[in-house]
Amino acid sequence: MSTAKLVLSVDFLDRTNQKDDANLFIGKEARDFVAKYGDIVDLAKFYTHVRVYYESICSYMAKKFPFGDEVLKDATVADISKRDAFEFSSVDFFLKRFMLLSNLFAEKNSKDDLEMEFIEYQVDKLPEEILSEERLDVLWHLLSQIKDVTTGKSKYGNLASFMLAIIVIFHSNVECERTFSLVTKNKIKYRPNMTTKTLSSLISHKTYMASTGEQAYNCELSQNF
């Protein structure tokens, strides 16, 4: 797979592209069981089922996962470690795809300013404290703080705003799932009569506490609560 240009180009159903039985990942407990009882169980049948399991997963991923999705492919333009590998066309793709981004740069010459910042960003020698930053959102915020020595204005203000907008594009329903999980943890069968208003207030307070790092057992409620 490491030599394939595209993941989907690998024929995962071809046994020659699969590992030998002894090298298939089955977990420590299963491997210990095979080592202990391998002489009395049908290992050929067992490993056949293991392969069918992995093949089913690969088939599902090939069908459901967004391989080749243009948004995900071009979103890599926000990765500063790969800034030399992209052209402005990747930026332009998002301007055409998302109206909100297009509206941000709808004023006269603003798109030209964005392209000029992108070109300069690709050749500029950036500070090591920025390059070593692990969080992409923090990195682009730091880039937005760099001043142009001639104008005193943000050198990459437009580009940073654009990249930060790309980063917050929803890539999955994970936030919806988190909210659903939070609701189900608070409104359970032992509290079936909790009103929507009470539930909303409870979740809002829990979310606030989580954002501030406050622990629930340290929370002091008023006597009128």
Give the integer Cα–Cα distance in Å for 27 and 42: 18
Distance in Å from the first CA to the final CA of the chain: 60
pLDDT digits (tens, 9 = 90+) for 139-160: 999 999 999 888 888 998 999 9
Give how far Cα 93 sits from Cα of 49, 97, 116, 192, Å.
44, 6, 16, 48
pLDDT digits (tens, 9 = 90+) for 48-63: 999 999 999 999 998 8
* Domain locations along the chain: 7-64, 70-167, 179-218
- Those residues with Cβ within 8 angstroms of residue 117's Cβ, 6 or more apart along the chain or in another chain: 155, 156, 157, 158, 159
Helices (H), 145-221: 157-167, 174-186, 196-212
β partners of residue 147: 154
φ, ψ of residue 154 to 5 degrees: the values are -60, 125
pLDDT digits (tens, 9 = 90+) for 5-26: 778 888 888 988 899 998 999 9
pLDDT over threshold 80, residue 199? no
pLDDT over threshold 80, residue 184? no
Q: What is the pLDDT of residue 28?
A: 94
pLDDT digits (tens, 9 = 90+) for 97-116: 888 888 888 787 788 999 99
Q: Model's pTM, two decimal places?
A: 0.59
The amino acid sitting at 93 is F
Q: What is the pLDDT of residue 101?
A: 83
Residue with tokens 């240009």: 5
β partners of residue 154: 147
pLDDT, average across residues 61-68: 85
Give the integer Cα–Cα distance in Å for 146 and 163: 15
Contact (CB, 8 A) for 47 and 20? no
- Residue 83 pLDDT grade (very low, low, confident, very high; cuts 50, 70, 90): confident
Q: What is the pLDDT of residue 190?
A: 62
Q: What is the pLDDT of residue 178?
A: 73
Average pLDDT, the chain: 84
Residue with tokens 């594009």: 169
φ, ψ of residue 74 to 5 degrees: the values are -80, -20
